[in-house]
Copies of this chain bind each other. A is one copy, B any other.
């Protein structure tokens, strides 16, 4: 079925290897032969079989992304798809393709092992949410080209890429200090929430840089929900003196925090400023619109794709890096 390289060769009066060389841009073919072959290819509407090429070349030009794809994942992890979209774009530009594959921590290792052993792809990208020690060990042992999207929560020799949340925290702190705020508060996620912890860490550093410090009574940790944001904000707002600015670790907490502030009849930003991280649609939508340190996760995705291809070409490349693509978006909630 379909036109094969043989048909082209015959029609052009050359051998199949000549056709192959034309297809692959091999230097050794004369201009005129190239032109003639190309002409025939066009006339016969010939396209090389993808699977035959992959098989013969022994390279798939494919990256498999292993990640949690469970229900409501779009909302519970909106960053993930943005990362994947960025990666896809970079890969496609270099004519690699991306296979999307749902997995769980319990299944990921076995899937990865099969993909590696069957040489289903040239590289693996694995979202940190499904990483396990076992999987890390597999990647390290096989030296299979890979990148983990997000820094693993445990030490290992795997390649990973992550957002620099500390630097985002520093940016947030610098902004507030620059606007003249002094009593900065922080409402964050629980201990295991690394994003929140790093943002807090960054804020600490950023304040220190300008000779301010983060008062312990102004720090509250809880669930990343509006309800708990509200609860934490209420605790916070019962302190004396009131903080003059509060940084929320994420949009959900910010939503609750803003509600609490309004319930008390306080004005944002005149009496108290609010800011958060990630430019979700509702940070723009809220009243007043929230200043955020936006994090360009799509860019992290394309960086991941770039690193991955570097690793494919130079299998000994060791990548463990934070990408810093934070961007301060100043809006009304912090500018009085």
Contacts and interface: CB of A to CB of B under 8 A. Distances in A.
B102 A92 contact: yes
B280 A259 contact: no
Contacts of A78: 74-75, 78
Q: How many copies of this chain?
A: 2
Interface in A55-92: 55, 58, 60, 62, 69-75, 78-79, 81-82, 84-85, 88-89, 92
A259 to B, nearest CB: 7
Contact of A50 (B47, B118, B259): B118
Contacts of A84: 100
A99 interface: yes
A51 B101 contact: no
Given A88-B100, A280-B75, A118 B47 contact: yes
A293 to B, nearest CB: 17
Q: Which size class do A's interface residues fall under?
A: 35 or more
From A45, A50, A70, A97, name the one whose CB has the most chain B CB atoms within 10 angstroms.
A50
Interface string A257-273: 00100000000000000
A191 to B, nearest CB: 23
Contacts of A99: 62, 97-100
Contacts of A49: 118-119
Interface string A237-263: 000000000000000100100010000
Nearest to A55: B55
A54 interface: yes
Interface stretch (A29-37, A205-213, A281-289): A281-289
B101 A97 contact: yes
Interface in A122-156: none
A193 interface: no
Interface of A: 2, 45, 47-52, 54-55, 58, 60, 62, 69-75, 78-79, 81-82, 84-85, 88-89, 92, 97-102, 114, 117-120, 226, 252, 255, 259, 280-282, 285, 287, 298
Given A75-B281, A88-B100, 11 more contacts: A2-B117, A49-B119, A50-B118, A50-B119, A51-B55, A54-B54, A72-B82, A84-B100, A92-B101, A92-B102, A98-B101
26 contacts: A45-B117, A47-B117, A48-B118, A50-B118, A51-B51, A51-B60, A51-B120, A55-B55, A62-B99, A69-B88, A70-B85, A72-B82, A73-B81, A73-B82, A74-B81, A74-B82, A75-B280, A84-B100, A85-B102, A88-B101, A92-B101, A98-B100, A99-B99, A99-B100, A226-B285, A282-B282
